[in-house]
């Protein structure tokens, strides 16, 4: 797992990935700004649900907590949202760049139809929002929040990366067998990537690293099977 992550990171300066990295940085920055703005505008409206007779201090407290929640949720949801968007836009080119350098003898890969990629991205985006909202109370508990975030988003990042990368070389049955056999390894890599994607600046390249690292993990597992 560590070797795959290191190989993915070491390839970022290559011209094909460098160009994708610049596009990834722009896309990730835009996603974070839109996500934060949307949550910042939406969550404080929770105060409007209070009765008109509610004391002002209670209304102010709830609006403050809602504003803080917007910031927390934007950070928590960021890995999944960016992964969902980038998987449909960049995964194919990232995988091709990794394979060209490290696995030059591979035959041409199956190209994923646009409709299939969009459907997968939307499904994953829904799962990201739902699971993180369920885990939200845990994110306010020190130490527990780190474990919960890594576990939930590690699974989401691993699953999304796997389902974006694996269909290029495997059919549905082969994907299912490989996921079951290497689930813990993929999940651990996803947890590490999710934590990277929670760090400011580093998070801007997290989705690209995830696709590149998963390409290595899937190919190594496929060859070992």
pLDDT tens sequence across 9-68: 888 888 888 888 888 778 777 877 877 777 767 665 666 666 667 677 766 776 676 666
What local confidence, expressed as pLDDT, does residue 132 receive?
A: 83
Q: What is the pLDDT of residue 44?
A: 58
Look at residue 185 in the predicted model and tell me its pLDDT: 93
SS3 27: helix
Tell me, what's the pLDDT at 187? Answer: 94
Asked if 211 and 161 touch (Cβ cutoff 8 Å), the reply is yes
Tokens of 23: 């596009």
The pLDDT of residue 43: 62
* Residue recorded with tokens 């689930």: 183
| Rama region for 194: left / alpha / beta (φ>0; ψ in -120 to 50; rest) | alpha
- Report which DSSP code applies to 167: G
pLDDT of residue 128: 82
What does the alpha-carbon distance between residue 126 and residue 6 come to, in Å, rounded to a whole number? 30
Structural domain range at position 122: 2-224
* Alpha-carbon gap, residue 42 to 67, rounded angstroms: 9
Q: What is the pLDDT of residue 66?
A: 66
Per-10-residue mean pLDDT of the chain, 225 residues long, equals 84 85 79 75 63 69 68 71 71 90 88 74 81 85 91 90 90 92 93 84 78 93 84
Number of domains within the chain: 1
pLDDT given for residue 188 in this prediction = 94
The stretches of 166-205 forming alpha helices (DSSP H) are 172-196
For 35, 37, 101, 158, 178, the CA distances from 108, given in Å and listed in that order, are 37, 42, 14, 24, 20
Q: What is the pLDDT of residue 62?
A: 67
How far apart, in whole angstroms, are the C-alpha atoms of residue 22 and residue 28? 10
Residue 92 has a pLDDT of 85
Are residues 158 and 187 in contact, defined by beta-carbon separation less than 8 angstroms? Answer: yes
Question: Cα angle at 91 between 13 and 75, to 5 degrees?
Answer: 85
* DSSP letter for each residue of 88-132: HHTHHHHHHHHHHHH-TTPPPPPPPPHHHHHHHHHHHHHHHHHHH
Can you tell me the distance from the alpha carbon of 130 to that of 114, in angstroms, rounded to the nearest whole number? 24
pTM attached to this predicted model: 0.76
CA-to-CA separations, 76 to 22, 31, 149, 196, 215, in angstroms, rounded? 23, 13, 7, 12, 25
What is the reported pLDDT for 212? 92
| Residue-level pLDDT at 162 | 93
């Amino acid at each position: 797992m560590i070797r795959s992550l290191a190989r993915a990171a070491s390839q970022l300066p290559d011209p094909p990935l460098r160009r994708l990295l610049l596009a990834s940085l722009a896309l990730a920055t835009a996603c974070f700004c839109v996500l934060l703005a949307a949550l910042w505008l939406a969550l404080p409206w929770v105060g409007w649900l209070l009765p008109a007779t509610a004391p002002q201090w209670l209304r102010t407290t709830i609006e403050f907590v809602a504003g803080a929640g917007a910031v927390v949720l934007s950070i928590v949801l960021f890995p999944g949202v960016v992964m969902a968007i980038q998987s449909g836009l960049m995964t194919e080119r990232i995988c091709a760049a990794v394979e060209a350098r490290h696995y030059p003898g591979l035959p041409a890969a199956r190209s994923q139809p646009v409709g299939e990629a969009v459907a997968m991205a939307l499904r994953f985006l829904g799962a990201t929002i739902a699971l993180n909202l369920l885990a939200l109370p845990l994110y306010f508990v020190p130490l527990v929040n780190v474990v919960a975030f890594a576990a939930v988003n590690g699974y989401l990042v691993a699953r999304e990366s796997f389902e974006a990368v694996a269909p290029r070389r495997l059919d549905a049955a082969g994907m299912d067998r490989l996921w079951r056999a290497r689930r813990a390894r993929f999940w651990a890599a996803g947890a590490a990537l999710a934590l990277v994607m929670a760090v400011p600046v580093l998070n801007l390249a997290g989705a690209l690293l995830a696709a590149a690292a998963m390409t290595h993990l899937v190919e190594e597992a496929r060859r070992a099977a």
